[in-house]
Amino acid sequence: MLEANQAMHGLGFVRTACLLLSAWLPEITSLKSRLEAAGIVKAEGNAFVKQFHTNPDAFLGWEVHSDGTIWFDLDCMDLDELQYCGFGFSETDQPAGTHHDTDVYIAHRRQVEDRYSASNWSTPRLDQHQDVSCDHCAVLDGRLHATFFRNLSTGDVAQDVSIVNRTYRVSWAIGVVRDGRVSAHNFTPRAESEYMYINFLEPEATEMPKFEVHHEVSAAGALQMALTAVLGFALLCELLS
């Protein structure tokens, strides 16, 4: 009788634990799957990284510091002397291929330029006020590695986009600089699904657009996994009750 009672207590404990776990699980899975769906990887500390191109491989990393600065880390492989690597982000959801009201950063050789695109199709122009500082910007053996930072809000309301807690559509380009001019880029997103979508401040809260075919598959996969796990727990709980 005593043994049976203890066994019941033990089962009760497992049951409570499994109920708690199944309550937590969907939440944990949804935060993880948001990063996964956005293709963002958590690096060390508070840093995150996203690969935005393969062959040549190119990565954008970032870290928000408590002093109100954001540090970017652009790492682009297999570039020649003439090539630049850059990215831009905008709040507006414009059609693919356009870059209206887009804040642009272009790394080339040992510098990073602060640029801005006001209209849909124009080449991003050099900002009158450069609100970015290179910490370590260099090209070594065809690998461009630029670590640079700016304030989340630069105060340049005309030619910068403030970084707040929201998802930005992030475009990118790898191309050639000729006579100091950024010329047409051969590698750049053409379809909505090829852009990056990033909430720089809260990457776990990044909201992927619905039309994303690629990422819907992995989000669906994550959802299926979560459902399977929840069903597994439910079954276990059913067996124990």
Ligand X SMILES: *[C@@H]1O[C@H](CO)[C@@H](O)[C@H](O)[C@H]1NC(C)=O
Residues near ligand X (CB under 6 A) are 94-95, 98, 100, 119-120, 131, 133, 149-151, 165, 202, 205
Shortest reach from residue 148's CB to ligand X, in Å: 9
Of residues 83 and 117, the one with the C-beta less far from ligand X: 117
Q: How far from 167 is each of 77, 85, 92, 141, 202, CA to CA, in Å?
A: 27, 22, 10, 34, 9
Shortest reach from residue 14's CB to ligand X, in Å: 33
Of residues 16 and 119, the one with the C-beta less far from ligand X: 119
3-state secondary structure of 235: helix
Q: CA 206: distance to chain centroid?
A: 8
Of residues 78 and 131, the one with the C-beta less far from ligand X: 131
3-state secondary structure of 116: strand
Of residues 75 and 160, the one with the C-beta less far from ligand X: 160
Q: How far from 129 is each of 7, 116, 182, 220, CA to CA, in Å?
A: 72, 11, 18, 44
Shortest reach from residue 139's CB to ligand X, in Å: 22
Q: How far apart are CA 215 and CA 35, in angstroms?
A: 11
Of residues 58 and 170, the one with the C-beta less far from ligand X: 170
Q: How far apart are CA 96 and CA 78, in angstroms?
A: 26
Of residues 100 and 143, the one with the C-beta less far from ligand X: 100
Shortest reach from residue 220's CB to ligand X, in Å: 23
Q: Encoding tokens for residue 203?
A: 């990457």
Shortest reach from residue 161's CB to ligand X, in Å: 14
Shortest reach from residue 199's CB to ligand X, in Å: 7
Q: CA 98: distance to chain centroid?
A: 20
Burial status of residue 9 (CB atoms within 10 A of its CB: 0-12, 13-18, 19 or more): exposed
Give the amino acid at 77: M
